[in-house]
Amino acid sequence: MSQDTNPALELREITHAYGDVSVLEGVSVTVERGSVVALLGPNGSGKTTLLSIAAGLLDPDSGAVSRQQPGGRTVGYVPQRPAFRPQFTVAETIEFYSTLVPGAVDVEETLDRVGLTAVADRRVAALSGGMTRLLGLAQATIGSPPILTLDEPASGLDPQLRHHIADAIVDIAADGTAVLLATHDLAAAERIADEILVLDGGSIVARASPAQLCEQADADSLDGAFDEILGRDGLVGVHASAGGDVDD
């Protein structure tokens, strides 16, 4: 039997606007199975919009989206601030989502994968922000979707939890899942991403592996390369032309 060599996710020439405000202008992204692609960019650059289109939550104004169709769940999605019914426990939450996909799901294994086994019987209301993020990640893997999209999976978390989440993402990708994530955490992106896409003003202004980006920008780290690509003002500036607070 021949192996499917098509990418798990392909976005071609995606354009999107909110009213008169153009957010994405001809953006193309390809994510292969087992690889991690990180979207970087200042606030308002279109990262969340692009992720929403990749996850099938938003239709682009123009362009094409093709996803690997396994027959069950196609895309796993972790929103910027995942939230669940507070009166249910962690295990009950995962059990509920597990009933929505074909086939059996091992709830214990799903929680173990992200390190939440110890709090399986804890109510969601009693979880910390980091644990809720991990629960969101666990939810996104239910049904083994071939594509995983994550919006700022580690923002606002302590360094230990950020590492934990990054490690969990690497493990998920190692199982063949195509991962597309938007992040401001440059250190994590440098560590786990196979490819970095830098979005600015609704367009991709740089696209390479972390090492290549550093080399091209003649920088010691991705942080430095990012500064170089966007200019130091770009790091803190909100690009009004790309949607302002629509994104992030």
Task: State the residues that interact with other proteins by CB under 8 A.
Answer: 52, 55-57, 72-77, 79, 81-85, 87-88, 96-97, 99-102, 136, 139-140, 143, 145
**CB-wise, 98 or 221, nearer to other proteins?**
98
**CB-wise, 2 or 71, nearer to other proteins?**
71
CB of 21 to other proteins, least distance (A): 19
CB of 75 to other proteins, least distance (A): 5
CB of 150 to other proteins, least distance (A): 12
**CB-wise, 102 or 176, nearer to other proteins?**
102
CB of 50 to other proteins, least distance (A): 15
CB of 145 to other proteins, least distance (A): 7
**CB-wise, 44 or 79, nearer to other proteins?**
79
**CB-wise, 78 or 189, nearer to other proteins?**
78
DSSP calls for the chain: -PPP-S-SEEEEEEEEEETTEEEEEEEEEEE-TT-EEEEE--TTSSHHHHHHHHTTSS--SEEEEEE---SS--EEEE-SS----TTSBHHHHHHHHHTTSSS---HHHHHHHHT-GGGTTSBGGG--HHHHHHHHHHHHHTT--SEEEEESTTTT--HHHHHHHHHHHHHHHHTT-EEEEE-S-HHHHHHH-SEEEEEETTEEEEEE-HHHHHHHHT-SSHHHHHHHHH-HHHHH---GGGTGGG--
